[in-house]
């Protein structure tokens, strides 16, 4: 009897969780991802602000599955999907077919057709995004230090668009950087002129949280120097400024896009029914209607909760749905009925800054604020990191940052890409060291 085979598209939480569970039941898995690493997306903002190194949040997929003989990793981009046949085709023209197909391709930024946003804003949804943002952040400080006139052109203004968890955490981390880290490095730079703007069309920050959390978060951000612009959207992003919906212009060379996500491009390639955010519609057991051997999990899918409504795009939802789909595949293989997905709600949490966080833990969302929530945030995220090595390194980095107020990864790793055209001729100090 030939072994059961499965293709898993995507190496995020959902894909890795699914592949690991399938391998435990002797299913031969081909895991395909355009990157050769698994990234811990909730911590990308810490890479962007130099609190963590890239290696702390990205782990090679082949390393994750080095002891899994049933899992084969292929680094390639899927360019065509034949869901009915359980097959995908990669950019190299290679076709993969299997008994089961699992789409776990994740998400990508949703710019909501905002003019200039895709071209000029910095999203924060991949390791490459985080590295680009980090280089740009430190480049604007270098440029302002070399020529203080740049401050009037927005060199020390950082605009974060979107006040959800990613936006709040990014704004808070940038504030920590400006307040606690950079003064010792840029002694001649007037960092009091630095400005961090957090913009959202909604009336509160961290909308999914409680009113108490809204107030606590707003107060902590404001105290850290973050300026909240709520109830106003973004009309345009240009290389030099962000134009708000009310016509206000904010000069900046760092516009961070945390305004929402949509399904990865693979969702559109599948030809399967899609709903909100372009995500593929999943049946209660995470299969696709009419295709019991095709499963969709994680951020690429609208994963139904107990009430039939789609669950939020969270790492815990992705991981649990990936594992659940694997168990249903095994049940289907064995001629047993599949089971509707049941999500174990771990709650929601967000870091605001050093020593400050909000958390709503468990299915009843018990509220924690301040240092206790900060400790809970550290513990949960360190545990979710893939591998003991990553957990130890992350804790060392966090501890070093917390106690010493330093950032060990504050390098400009792509100087040419980070370099800014200020529109007034050559660099005022072309000999300065950019390394």
Ramachandran region, residue 286 (left: φ > 0; alpha: ψ -120 to 50; beta: rest): left
Quick one: how far is CA 288 from the chain centroid?
Answer: 26
Map tokens 């930024």 to a residue: 109
**Under 8 Å between Cβ of 100 and 294:** yes
Instruction: Give the number of C-alpha atoms closer than 13 A to the C-alpha of residue 368, restricted to the C-beta side.
Output: 19
Calculate the alpha carbon distances from 163 to 94, 207, 349, 394 in Å.
42, 8, 14, 25
- Tell me the torsion sign for CA atoms 42, 359, 161, 419: negative
Token readout for 233 is 């959207």
- Give the closest residue to 208 by CA, choosing from 167, 263, 262: 167
Known catalytic residue at 169: yes
- Distance from chain centroid for Cα 348: 15
Q: Are 113 and 129 in contact (CB under 8 A)?
A: no
The CA-CA-CA angle for residues 87, 88, 91, to 5°, reads 155
The answer to whether the CB of 62 falls within 8 A of the CB of 40 is no
Residues in the chain: 435
Going by the DSSP 8-state scheme, the letter that residue 312 receives in this structure is P
Please name which of 263, 265, 255, 276 lies closest in space to residue 117, comparing C-alpha atoms: 255
d(Cα 40, Cα 61) in Å, to the nearest integer? 12
For residue 344, give both structure tokens: 């174990």
96 in Cβ contact with 8 (< 8 Å): no
| Token pair listed for 1 | 């009897």
What token pair was written down for 275?
Answer: 């709903």
334 CB burial (10 A radius; 0-12, 13-18, 19+): exposed
Kindly give the residue spans of alpha helices, DSSP state H, lying in 193-261: 211-223
Catalytic one of 21, 131, 169, 390: 169
Alpha-helical segments (H) within 279-387? 315-333, 370-384
List residues with catalytic annotation.
169
């Amino acid at each position: 009897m030939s072994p059961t085979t499965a293709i898993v598209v995507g190496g995020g939480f959902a894909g890795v969780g699914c592949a690991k569970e399938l391998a435990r039941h002797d299913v031969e898995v081909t895991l395909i991802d355009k990157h050769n690493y698994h990234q811990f997306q909730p911590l990308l903002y810490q890479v962007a602000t130099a609190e963590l190194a890239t290696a702390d949040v990205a782990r090679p997929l082949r390393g994750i599955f080095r002891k899994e003989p049933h899992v084969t990793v292929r680094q390639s981009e899927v360019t065509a999907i034949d869901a009915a046949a359980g097959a995908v085709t990669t950019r190299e023209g290679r076709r993969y077919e299997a008994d089961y197909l699992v789409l776990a391709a994740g998400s990508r930024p949703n710019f909501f057709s905002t003019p200039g946003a895709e071209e000029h804003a910095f999203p924060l949804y991949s390791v490459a995004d985080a590295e680009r943002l980090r280089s740009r952040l430190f480049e604007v400080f270098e440029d302002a230090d070399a020529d203080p006139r740049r401050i009037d052109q927005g060199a020390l203004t950082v605009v974060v668009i979107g006040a959800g968890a990613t936006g709040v955490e990014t704004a808070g981390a940038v504030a920590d950087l400006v307040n606690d880290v950079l003064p010792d490095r840029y002694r001649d730079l007037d960092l009091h002129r630095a400005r961090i703007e957090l913009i959202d069309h909604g009336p509160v920050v961290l909308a999914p949280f409680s009113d108490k959390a809204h107030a606590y978060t707003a107060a902590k951000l404001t105290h850290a120097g973050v300026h909240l612009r709520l109830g106003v959207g973004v009309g345009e992003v240009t290389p030099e400024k962000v134009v708000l919906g009310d016509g206000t212009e904010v000069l900046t060379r760092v516009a961070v896009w945390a305004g929402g996500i949509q399904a990865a491009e693979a969702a559109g390639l599948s030809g399967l029914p899609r709903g909100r955010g372009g995500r593929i519609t999943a049946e209660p057991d995470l299969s696709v209607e009419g295709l019991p051997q095709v499963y969709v999990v994680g951020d690429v899918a609208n994963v139904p909760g107990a009430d039939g409504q789609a669950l939020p795009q969270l790492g815990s939802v992705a991981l649990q749905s990936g594992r659940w789909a694997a168990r249903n595949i095994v049940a289907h293989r064995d001629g047993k009925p599949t089971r509707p997905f049941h999500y174990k709600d771990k709650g929601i949490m967000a870091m605001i800054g050093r020593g400050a966080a909000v958390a709503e833990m468990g299915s009843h969302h018990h509220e924690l604020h301040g240092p206790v929530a900060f400790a809970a945030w550290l513990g949960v995220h360190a545990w979710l990191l893939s591998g003991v090595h990553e957990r130890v390194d992350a804790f060392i980095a966090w501890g070093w940052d917390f106690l010493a107020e330093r950032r060990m990864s504050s390098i400009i790793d792509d100087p040419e890409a980070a370099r800014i055209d200020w529109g007034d001729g050559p660099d005022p100090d072309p000999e300065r060291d950019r390394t």
